[in-house]
Amino acid sequence: VKAIKDKKNELLEMLKIVNLGERVLSDKNSDILEFGRLLDYTWKLKRGITNFISNDVIDTIYARANKAGAIGGKLMGAGGGGFLMLFAEPCKQSAVKEALSDLLYVPFKFEDGGASVLYYAPETLAAV
């Protein structure tokens, strides 16, 4: 909490980047690689807030991905587990996957339909 109070400028910069990222993703004429660069810039800003943002294992994975061609990345999850989303040009994705072949690859795609609520109600079976 103290680290966050002392890093107000970094947090405001990250907020500004959200709007830039949204523009890059919604403008069909924008350079999509800029989104990857924004992810990397935000990664570095966030890492500068506190040493608890990441750890040596995650930093090593991120460095391996960058060396293989990833432009940027973002941690996804609530701490203690989750995913590292990486951004790489299509021509470099195979190299990034190979460099991280010891990890689980989970494909995803962007969705423009908005949030969805999934509801699961278990069936109750009547005794026969």
CA distance 59 to 47: 10
Q: Work out the percent of the chain whose per-residue pLDDT is above 90.
A: 47
Residue 89 token pair: 């040009």
What is the rounded CA–CA span in Å between residue 128 and residue 125?
9
Q: What is the pTM of this model?
A: 0.76
Please tell me the predicted confidence (pLDDT) of residue 125: 66
Classify the C-alpha dihedral 96-98-101-105 as positive or negative. positive
- pLDDT, tens only, 68-98: 999 999 988 766 677 889 999 999 999 999 9
